[in-house]
Amino acid sequence: MRAVTSAVFVEDSPRNVALSRSPQKGVGAVSEASVFSHACTTPPWRDVMSKHVVVLANLPDNWDSYGASSVSLSIANAALCFVESVSTSRTPQPAIVPTNDGKLQVEWHTQGIDLEVKIISQSAVSYSLEDSRGDFPSVEERELRYDLTDLQRAIMRLTARANVG
């Protein structure tokens, strides 16, 4: 069984984060290191979210008793990187849930906006979006690779609406 004990943020460019394995903690372990902060852009829930992702990365195969796959370290890392890249200090905290195929889904359900982003790989996500107010068009399911511009716009709108009330 692989053990992930906490999230390690590695900053190789502003706003990039990553989980990494620590040989000091044993095979497959992830250990805690200092977190680089972005004073103006880091969400206050970042540490709580990273600890939750660590818990999800430790789920075993069949965690749901229906044959679900465990979450890979690369998917956990991709989820952290994605959330870090699209969030600001004012972005509402997303829910992060495992899917039965070993992926993670990042979800926001706030102020009439339902945004669900499935992390497919380090370079691909799929998302669906529904806005009950109709301020921007719904998206049934769309896959994005590398260019997250449309998704970043949706999250900016979600953030703005959540901070207005």
For 95, the domain range is: 23-164
Task: Give the residue with greater pLDDT, 88 vs 10.
Answer: 88
- Tens of pLDDT, residue by residue over 86-124, are 999 999 999 999 999 999 999 999 999 999 999 999 999
Could you give the number of structural domains in the chain? 1
**Alpha helices for the chain (secondary structure H):** 46-57, 73-86, 149-164
Position 60 pLDDT exceeds 90 = yes
Residue 87 in domain: yes
* Rounded (10°) CA dihedral 106, 111, 114, 119: -20
- How high is the mean pLDDT of the chain? 80
Residue 101 in domain: yes
Residue 6 in domain: no
Q: How confident is the model at residue 165 (pLDDT cuts 50, 70, 90)?
A: low
Residue 37 in domain: yes
Residue 92 in domain: yes
Q: How confident is the model at residue 150 (pLDDT cuts 50, 70, 90)?
A: confident
Residue 44 in domain: yes
Look at residue 136 in the predicted model and tell me its pLDDT.
84
84 closest CA partner among 136, 31, 9? 9
Residue 128 in domain: yes
